[in-house]
Chain A
Amino acid sequence: MTVVRISDDALALACGADAVAAVFAAAGWTVERVSSWGMHWLEPLAEVNGIGWGPVTPDRVAEIIEGKADDLCIGPIAAHPFITGQQRLTFARAGKTRPLSLEDYAATGGWTGLNRARGMSPAEVIEQVIASGLRGRGGAGFPAGIKWRTVAGAPGEQKYVVCNADEGDSGTFADRMLMEGDPFQLIEGMAIAAYAVGAGQGYIYVRSEYPHAIAKLRKAIDLAAGHIAPFAIEVRVGAGAYVCGEETSLLNSIEGKRGEVRAKPPLPALKGLFGCPTVVNNVLTLAAIPHILHEDGASLYDNLGIARSKGTMPIQLAGNIRHGGLYETAFGITLNRLIYEVGGGTQSGRPVKAVQVGGPLGAYIPPSQFDLPFDYEAYAAANALIGHGGVVVFDDSADMGAQARFAMEFCAAESCGKCTPCRIGSTRGVELIDRIRAGGKAGADAVEALPQMHNARKTGRTRAEEIALLEDLCETMKDASLCALGGFTPYPVLSALKHWPEDFGA
């Protein structure tokens, strides 16, 4: 029998996978729809007996059926350097299993972690997670096991496990790939968390921009209901608000409120969803759990990575990069390796100008710092952040002044409005960057010139004075915002200003 395996991941579909699959089917072949290997420049990727062809277009299928199309053939997929260079734990099944097949899941070690966890006491499960060194993959990097211990110890009849799948950062898609490609692993991770902390109900909050992930998760939850009972999971859909990726705003959104950030304390671990103790973890955090609960899984995880960043990180190579996709590897890898050796440089062939790591709130990093190891503390020390592991590459045509302006504009559009530095600072930031790029400000504007504006300055400002003002504003946003949206927007702005002053009209 002739079988071809083609991904049904949203990215493969966007690249035309359905049309390719239809031609194979019309030729009498069995088409297995599997998860994506994560080699996005090759999608749609067709796999026949382990050999890959990509990117395939419908008119090339006839040649592949004859074993030709050598220009598209990449040989054995599993031996491709992009795959062999990785240490895939969370994405171990990527490309290999049918996302909604319980049979495939069980055959590849599925439910082993949950079954082993159920043989231990909840406290022992939490000890395993603490021992693994796993830190929250959503961006903050808080030790997952410590959070669980807090929830387990919190008084309360009802507790919740909430999965944050509001993956709004540009340049990130690992949550989406995991939910679409291996939804049972996330469900298993949530069930283990629920067992450990004593929760009866779980929610997965997915952004509305991910309809494919939502559909797959809902089907997977139905299929897996028997495996995780009495724990139950419900999918909740976001409504286009970026700020709902912030955990307290997300909880408000599930409760049916405006996605406004809550002041902390109280921590969600003590007073979270509907006022009850709640574990809020990112998709990648929860999906790493089943592996950690395998025999020796915790110590294996702890042995990977560097310093206090343990285990693997699914890094997402995006933007202007030739070989974009999902690259899961132990912490410690440098941007040089990621961008040049793994990613093959820019898609456009022009020199790399900047890389934004960690989404819209991450710093722009210049090539002179590409030897920075991928590690929470090393990035923090360099005034940057890992965030959710998205790496967006820009070539030398990028205007970093415009990117800095965009960061402030995005913050203004997406601010929840709860705190002043973010709500107003972001708008003032856009104006300031415009004035800096225009070379300063000639005189007082119409409002400032009004006689009742006693404190307003009546003279113009030089470019240097405007820059000092922007830096001061960023300082205020960093220190006084309630959450990371206002607090981290200064990172892309200040890093762009520091490394590319020429793009601000200098």
Chain B
Amino acid sequence: MDTDRLHEILAAHAGCKGALLPILHDIQHAFGCIDAVAEAAVAKVLNLSRAEVHGVVSFYHDFTPEADPRPCIELCRAEACQARGVEALVPAATAAAGERVRIKPVYCLGLCSVGPVARHGELLHARLDEAALVKLVQTA
């Protein structure tokens, strides 16, 4: 872990009230994970125990202890997308993904009238059918 970058992040939030989540978001974004080294550094700066920081990191789905370098397709699996048939697309998408691509279930992207929907990086994709989703996975 690049400790200079880590300390830059910590310094950027100095004086912020309730800084823990903004700091953790920045670390997750910069390093793809929040590992033990980062947890210890955050704990020291915020005058918390490492257990407290770890408790927060492990509570939220967005924070991960290890980086996953694979491309990630976030596929909405919540009720509105279920009603529009997302579950039927999952086997083909999983097969296309294999070990190379990670298909991460998410619960609602707020596009509930044009599902099934997925996100790849910053880009959103709506009205997916099996062919479109498989293509999205293959080109991820």
Contact = CB atoms under 8 A, between A and B. Distances in A.
A320 B84 contact: yes
B109 A324 contact: no
A11 B126 contact: yes
A170 B55 contact: no
Interface string A392-414: 11110010000100100010001
Contacts of A406: 79, 82
B108 A170 contact: yes
B25 interface: yes
A242 B61 CA distance: 10
Interface stretch (A249-257, A304-312, A379-387, A443-451): A249-257
Contacts of B112: 170-173, 316, 318-319, 324, 390, 392
A416 B61 CA distance: 12
Nearest to A180: B110
B80 A240 contact: no
A258 B20 contact: no
Given A14-B117, A173-B113, A319-B80, A259 B22 contact: no
Interface string B54-79: 01100111110000000000000011
Contacts, number: 142
Contacts of B18: 236, 254-256, 274
A215 to B, nearest CB: 10
A360 interface: yes
What DSSP secondary structure best describes chain B's contact surface? loop
Interface in B22-76: 22, 24-25, 46, 55-56, 59-63
Contacts of B111: 10-11, 14, 173
Interface in A158-204: 167-173, 176
Nearest to A364: B79
Interface string A411-435: 0001010000000000000000000
Interface size class of B (residues with CB under 8 A): 35 or more
Contacts of A170: 78-81, 107-108, 112
Given A239-B21, A257-B56, A40 B113 contact: yes
Contacts of B22: 236-237
Contacts of B114: 11, 14-15, 40-41, 43, 324
B124 A13 contact: yes
B1 interface: no
Contacts of A489: none
B7 interface: no
A260 B55 CA distance: 11
B83 A320 contact: yes
A308 to B, nearest CB: 28
B84 A209 contact: no
A317 interface: yes
* Highest count of chain B CB atoms <10 Å: which of A172, A173, A360: A173
A170 B109 CA distance: 8
Interface string A20-49: 000000000000000000001101000000
A356 to B, nearest CB: 6
Contacts of A241: 59-61
Contacts of A414: 107
Interface in A125-148: none
Interface string B94-123: 000000000000111111111101000010
A259 B59 contact: yes
Nearest to B117: A14
A258 B110 contact: no
* Highest count of chain B CB atoms <10 Å: which of A41, A239, A317: A239
B126 A403 contact: no
A15 B113 CA distance: 11
A211 interface: yes
Nearest to A176: B110
Given A13-B124, A14-B125, A241-B61, A360 B78 contact: yes
B135 interface: no
Contacts of B127: 15
Contacts of B61: 239-241
A425 to B, nearest CB: 20
A500 interface: no
Contact of A360 (B63, B79, B83): B79
A325 B113 contact: yes
Nearest to B16: A234
Contacts of A392: 79-80, 83, 112
B42 to A, nearest CB: 10
B14 interface: no
Interface string A340-374: 00000001000000001001100000000000000
Nearest to A205: B21
Q: Nearest 4 CB-CB pairs, A to B?
A: A324-B113, A256-B20, A240-B61, A170-B78
8 contacts: A14-B114, A172-B110, A256-B19, A256-B20, A318-B83, A324-B114, A393-B83, A395-B83
Given A11-B110, A259-B60, 19 more contacts: A11-B111, A41-B113, A170-B79, A173-B112, A209-B106, A237-B21, A237-B22, A237-B25, A239-B25, A239-B63, A256-B21, A257-B20, A319-B83, A319-B113, A320-B83, A360-B79, A398-B82, A403-B82, A406-B82
